[in-house]
Amino acid sequence: MAEVIALAADHGGFELKNLLAEKLAEWGYEPLDLGTYSTDSVDYPDMAAKMADAIKAGKAERGVLVCGTGIGISIAANRFPFIRAALIHDAFGARLCREHNNANVIVFGGRTTGVEVAYDCLNTFLNTQFAGGRHARRVEKLSHLV
C-alpha cells in the first residue's frame, strides 16, 4: 500500500501543489489533496488547519503545504503541537529538517520556489529518516512548549 502524503495550499501555492501532487503519484505515493482547488483567494491558516486535521486523524503521516512565500502557512501549521513544519528552499535543508527535527510537513513558497528545486527537496524529504539520538530529546521538547 502506498504511503499517503497530504497536500494543501492557498491560492498562491495552488499551481505548485498540483505539480507536486502529480510528482508524488509518479513516484508511487498516494497524494491526498486537501485543497485549495483554484486560484480564488483563500486564507492560509485554514489550509494549514486542514493539513493538521488530516495528520491528527491518521489520514496521512506526512504532508506538503504551499502558500505564496511559505512563511504564513508554516507559521500557521506550527501552531499545532504535533506538526513540525519546515519551510525549505534547498535539498540540504530538506535533509536536515528530517534528520535533526523529524519534520512531518515540508513547506514551499509557490511564488519563491522553482518547480525542479521543489521536486528535489520533496524527494530528499521523503527519503530521509530521522536520526534520533541527541535530536530525539530536542524534538520531544517541541511538543511541550505550549
Catalytic residue IDs: 67, 100
> Grid coordinates in use for 14?
495552488
Give the three-class secondary structure for 69.
coil
Query: How buried is 131 (Cβ within 10 angstroms: 0-12 exposed, 13-18 middle, 19+ buried)?
Result: middle
C-alpha to C-alpha distance for 136 and 45, rounded to whole angstroms: 28
Are the beta carbons of 59 and 6 closer than 8 angstroms? Answer: yes
Torsions phi, psi for 107 (to 5 deg): -125, 140
Q: H or E stretch including 106?
A: strand 105-109
CA atoms within 13 A on the CB side of 42: 24
